Amino acid sequence: MMNQGAETLATVDPSSLENRYVINGQGQASSYPPSAAGSEALSWTTHRVDNSSTENGIPSNSTYNYDPHMQQPAAISSSLGSSSTQQDYNGYTSYSNSSDPYAYGSTGYQGYYNNNYQQQTNSYQQQTNHSYSQPVGAYQNTGAPYQPLSSFQNTGSYAGSSSYTSTYYNPGDYQTAGGYPSSSYNNQTSGWNDGNYANYTSQQYANYTPDTNAVYSSGTAPATSVNYQQHYKQWADYYSQTEVSCAPGTENIAVNSTSNFGTSTGYPTFNSQPHPPYNQSWRPESVPSEVPPVQSGSVVSGAYDGYWKHGAPTAQIHNTSPAQPHFQKPLEQKSSYDSFQDQQKTACPQGPSLQYPASHQVSHLSQSPQVPHLSQLPQVPQLNPVPQTYQSPVQTAPSLDTRRVNKLQIPTNPRIASNLTFGITKTDKDSSTISAAAKPAYVSVSLPKPNEKTPSSTGADSMLKPGMFPKSLRGYVERALARCKDETQMMACQATMKDMITKATADGTLYTRDWDIEPLFPLPNSDDDNKEILQGTTPISILPKFKRSPNRRSKSRWEPLPDEKPIEKPAYANNNALKYAGWMHANEKDRKTLNFGSKDNNSNNTKFLSLEQKGASKIIQRPVKKQRHSDGLGAVENGDASSDSDKEQGLTAYYAGASALANSPEERRRRESRSKRFEKGQGHRTETNHHKAKNSGAGNLYARRAMISKNFEDGASRAVEDMDWDTLTVKGTCQEIEKRYLRLTSAPDPSSVRPEEVLEKALLMVQNSQKNYLYKCDQLKSIRQDLTVQRIRNQLTAKVYETHARLALEVGDLPEYNQCQSQLKVLYAEGIEGCHMEFSAYHLLCVILHSNNYRDLLSSMSRLSDEAKRDKAVKHALAVRAAVTSGNYVMFFRLYKTAPNLNTCLMDLYVEKMRFKAVSCMSRSYRPTLPVSYIAQVLGFATVVPANEGSDEKDLDGVEECVEWLKAHGACLITDNNGEIQLDTKPTSSSLYMPEPEDAVSHGDASLAVNDFLTRTTL
């Protein structure tokens, strides 16, 4: 099933693809609930591989392999989590498998997906981070790394991502809900939607397939959440039907809700990108089988996970949120959107946060009333509840995803996959922290943040927790909203207030300002807002934003988030306004419902919390490790940072082969170090919030512990120190003799690694090859790489390095030679046989001739063994050293001619200097003249001359060359009576100079000719 699904998917839905991703991630994460970052990462990587393959149009079987692993881990993870979760999970997995086939939907999607995906994922991450951070202090930190991707900057991308999430989520929701097939779906939606769903589907669907997905997800999400919170029984029913375990489902749902922001923004992108293919493929699929959306949802979550190294849980949450975003979209879109679009960067964080909370609430509410709330909630109260709900949902979502992943071969984008891996690890950590009873603390922490972010959110917060915002502020908000004549205005108002409150929070005036006398801001033009919203939805608008992202990025990094940036919005909006007119209606409806729900949500949330606490054990809750302030700066910075790493990862993922990826120790270590880096950066941001800092610290600890615990479950997720390297060593299967070198940026793929026998052949091939050095160098490097990744260290290794070193010497490629030399040194030290003496001679020559470091020379000389000193090559090298230190040019050039091995090549590099020294010495010492023929002979110009001193035998060519050389160096030449050319020493002594080398290249490596370079790249 999975295979089929994956294949089909490839062509089809981005959403489905995403879902697959997610699934993969989950499967990897198998430990998910507990938060086995490592395992998740691993699975992800594999996914990536698969994805890439699918993208290419070649579905890889390798993914399949994963599935078993994934599932197993999942089960394990479930065990880690509370028992209830485990069960659920298990059920889930099975479910996901069945659902997997769904995912797929339209083939067209994939291509689309891939493109958008990266962007979306990027944006996603940012969004998630923001939203997350707000609710949960810890989150922000985690989010930070991610954000770097730059998705932030681009609202468009943002939107895309959000849409993705929604799609992703849906999958998740679906599965949980029961996968439902349409029936279960309908139920949920019906309860839910009431308003939202219906609207969405009808309008959005027609226009946007993605929308439908989102809608779906939202519908499911609520349902699940509802079940979770209140109606466990219902869940049970669901389960029985769907086979999905309740807990996972609920968790997923919650997650979905959180991701709302993202979805709303992302949504538009989604639609726009897929456009034509999307709509078509989607509609049919989405409607009948909601499965596709579900898958996408899962995918999203996975992506999120990756992003969230630190706050893996948050990432997951985001994922879930996508589903909700649809609901919320109408309301949120405006507010969040505005902020997003305006500042793109700044706005994003805020927007997400708001939505996030909302989504949570929604999930909790799960009831129809809640849904509406959710849409509004995002802005308001949700934040507080969100954290709590978040944790649990988030965790579950990942697990679900992974399972799905197992079965589904998701054509994930490399970047996403990479992100996922990251997130997973973090999530794990988070979850661990949460489990530690971090929840209560968590909640409290999260509360303050939401307030900061959005006015709407504040309102919600106040509902939930009266203490959060000053009463006066609430009143202010109410007054402001009361002015609004229609939905769009309301949304605009909310957005503005969000900005205001964020500002106030940032400058600390939130509580000191007298909101009662604060003048109301001018009512924003609803049209503009609408336009903006439209923009978000429209693909077109998104694209331009994307392009701009680089520019903005730099800005975002250092500047505080701009509070108001409405100016840009209108322009964007115009494009899409017409297309998306339909949206507005939906939004309106949503909003209404949302308003209702906010209160309900709150209540639900609280209930939820209590439930969660009671059943903490079951809940995998990922504590939000790093809570972040809503302030845009931090978020932006984080975003930037993460973007870099994401890119890196994305690239690697592209090239990554199959399953081995995630497991590779290098990769893991890299990830670890990266995440550490981020943690450091986060530390700064957490200054303001002590709670956050503590949480994050706890989170780390937990995460570590979680990692260890996971080891039992999943070998792949072991801590680096504990890793059994032997089991991780790649065993190559590639039979190609010729292979181009490509620097590995991720774990090697066994199918592209050659085993030793093949490498031997490859070495022979290179040795006998007639092609140029660059080709050989390339081939040898790939051989070296294959040796390294397989940890082959034997005579063959030495031979390869020796061969390469010799080749490099022949062409004077010192950097490459030095690499080989240092490797050889180690190899020889390990007792591996090779041409030790030859290379100690080279080493000596290198030190003498090129480093000219007295101490190095001494130490390498003192290290020579007696045996070495008797070696011909070493003796020669020592003699050369003596000649050089004493300036004995005659000796030098004599040694030059009798040099064994490739000593000549190294000496070659010193010849020019030596000649110059010699001639300046001669011009000082000889009077009145010196025959050039003698100079040519002594200084090695006469190539044919046997080294007979005093012989007058001379090679005319040599003399000519010498004359050329002398002229080039400013020597004065005269012809004596016999017609013999003489060096006029006296004037020469003052006129000699060292000319600039003619073949100098700006990059300093003459051997790297442009033509060679070009031919090389086209090989």
Q: Residue type for 149, please? A: L
Stretch touching another protein by CB under 8 A, among 499-507, 599-607, 737-745, 883-891? 883-891
Query: Closest CB to another protein among 469 and 889?
Result: 889
Query: Closest CB to another protein among 891 and 909?
Result: 891
Query: Closest CB to another protein among 31 and 929?
Result: 929
Tell me how far, at minimum, the Cβ of 935 lies from another protein, in Å.
Answer: 10
Alpha-carbon gap, residue 855 to 847, rounded angstroms: 10
Query: Closest CB to another protein among 607 and 924?
Result: 924
Query: Closest CB to another protein among 497 and 935?
Result: 935
Alpha-carbon gap, residue 457 to 356, rounded angstroms: 10
Judged by CB under 8 A, the chain residues 574 through 613 that form the site for another protein are: none
Question: Is residue 295 within 8 Å of residue 397, measured between CB atoms?
Answer: no
Stretch touching another protein by CB under 8 A, among 554-562, 691-699, 794-802, 881-889? 881-889
Q: What binding mask, one character per residue, do residues 810-849 give for another protein by CB under 8 A, x or -?
A: ----------------------------------------
- The footprint of another protein on this chain (CB under 8 A) covers a number of residues equal to 30
Q: Is 991 in the site for another protein (CB under 8 A)?
A: no
Query: Closest CB to another protein among 103 and 848?
Result: 848
Tell me how far, at minimum, the Cβ of 874 lies from another protein, in Å.
Answer: 14
Tell me how far, at minimum, the Cβ of 882 lies from another protein, in Å.
Answer: 7
Residue 691's nearest CA partner among 135, 192, 205, 167 is 135
Query: Closest CB to another protein among 291 and 938?
Result: 938
**357 Cβ contact list (under 8 Å, min separation 6):** 131, 134, 135, 258, 377, 378, 379, 380, 381, 382, 383, 384, 385, 386, 450, 457, 460
Question: Is residue 538 within 8 Å of residue 155, measured between CB atoms?
Answer: no
Tell me how far, at minimum, the Cβ of 911 lies from another protein, in Å.
Answer: 16
Tell me how far, at minimum, the Cβ of 605 lies from another protein, in Å.
Answer: 49
Tell me how far, at minimum, the Cβ of 942 lies from another protein, in Å.
Answer: 13
- Among 887, 994, 1000, 1019, interactor with another protein by CB under 8 A: 887
Alpha-carbon gap, residue 551 to 158, rounded angstroms: 16
Which two tokens mark 657? 């082969």
Tell me how far, at minimum, the Cβ of 824 lies from another protein, in Å.
Answer: 21
Question: Is residue 240 within 8 Å of residue 511, measured between CB atoms?
Answer: no
**CA 210, chain centre distance (Å):** 24
- Among 146, 390, 889, 896, interactor with another protein by CB under 8 A: 889
Question: Per residue in 990-1010, is it b (16+ CB within 10 Å) or e — as a string?
Answer: eebeeeeeeeeeeeeeebeee
**8 Cβ contact list (under 8 Å, min separation 6):** 16, 104, 105, 107
Query: CA-CA distances (angstroms) from residue 86 to 67, 717, 785, 817, 865?
Result: 18, 19, 42, 56, 65
Query: CA-CA distances (angstroms) from residue 587 to 335, 486, 899?
Result: 12, 11, 84
Query: Closest CB to another protein among 610 and 925?
Result: 925
Query: Closest CB to another protein among 701 and 890?
Result: 890
Query: Closest CB to another protein among 238 and 889?
Result: 889
Stretch touching another protein by CB under 8 A, among 379-387, 572-580, 882-890, 957-965? 882-890
Q: Is 122 in the site for another protein (CB under 8 A)?
A: no
Tell me how far, at minimum, the Cβ of 393 lies from another protein, in Å.
Answer: 47
Query: Closest CB to another protein among 824 and 945?
Result: 945
| Cβ count within 10 A of residue 957 | 13
Q: Residue type for 840, please? A: S
Alpha-carbon gap, residue 426 to 308, rounded angstroms: 6
930 strand-pairing partners: 983
Tell me how far, at minimum, the Cβ of 933 lies from another protein, in Å.
Answer: 11
Judged by CB under 8 A, the chain residues 850 through 879 that form the site for another protein are: 854-855, 857-859, 861-862
Query: CA-CA distances (angstroms) from residue 48 to 303, 515, 649, 658, 671?
Result: 10, 51, 10, 8, 16
176 strand-pairing partners: none
Tell me how far, at minimum, the Cβ of 949 lies from another protein, in Å.
Answer: 4
Alpha-carbon gap, residue 195 to 189, rounded angstroms: 10
DSSP class of residue 149 equals G
Query: Closest CB to another protein among 522 and 979?
Result: 979
Tell me how far, at minimum, the Cβ of 857 lies from another protein, in Å.
Answer: 7
Q: What binding mask, one character per residue, do residues 918-957 give for another protein by CB under 8 A, x or -?
A: --xxx-xxxxxxxx--x---x----------xx-------
Q: Is 890 in the site for another protein (CB under 8 A)?
A: yes
Alpha-carbon gap, residue 552 to 557, rounded angstroms: 8
Strands laid side by side in the 981-984 sheet = 929-931, 981-984, 973-975
Tell me how far, at minimum, the Cβ of 795 lies from another protein, in Å.
Answer: 25
Angle, CA 692 vertex, CA 688 and CA 694 arms, to 5°: 115
Residue 874: CA count within 13 A, CB half-sphere:
17
Tell me how far, at minimum, the Cβ of 951 lies from another protein, in Å.
Answer: 10
| Cβ count within 10 A of residue 849 | 20
Query: Closest CB to another protein among 769 and 885?
Result: 885
Judged by CB under 8 A, the chain residues 216 through 275 that form the site for another protein are: none
Query: Closest CB to another protein among 673 and 885?
Result: 885
Tell me how far, at minimum, the Cβ of 843 lies from another protein, in Å.
Answer: 16
Rg from Cα positions in the chain: 34
Tell me how far, at minimum, the Cβ of 918 lies from another protein, in Å.
Answer: 8
Judged by CB under 8 A, the chain residues 902 through 921 that form the site for another protein are: 920-921
Stretch touching another protein by CB under 8 A, among 452-460, 761-769, 833-841, 880-888? 880-888
Judged by CB under 8 A, the chain residues 141 through 200 that form the site for another protein are: none
Tell me how far, at minimum, the Cβ of 890 lies from another protein, in Å.
Answer: 4
Tell me how far, at minimum, the Cβ of 861 lies from another protein, in Å.
Answer: 6
Judged by CB under 8 A, the chain residues 487 through 516 that form the site for another protein are: none
Query: Closest CB to another protein among 523 and 891?
Result: 891
Is the peptide bond preceding residue 34 cis, with omega within 30 degrees of 0?
Answer: no
Element (H, E) at 255: helix 246-258
Alpha-carbon gap, residue 1002 to 581, rounded angstroms: 57
Tell me how far, at minimum, the Cβ of 991 lies from another protein, in Å.
Answer: 16
Stretch touching another protein by CB under 8 A, among 45-53, 241-249, 827-835, 888-896? 888-896
**CA 95, chain centre distance (Å):** 29
Residue 182: CA count within 13 A, CB half-sphere:
7
First CA to last CA distance, the chain:
39
- Among 767, 885, 943, 991, interactor with another protein by CB under 8 A: 885
Query: Closest CB to another protein among 925 and 1015?
Result: 925
Query: Closest CB to another protein among 706 and 935?
Result: 935
Query: Closest CB to another protein among 759 and 848?
Result: 848
Element (H, E) at 627: strand 626-627
Task: Tell me which residues touch another protein (CB under 8 A).
Answer: 854-855, 857-859, 861-862, 882, 885-891, 920-922, 924-931, 934, 938, 949-950
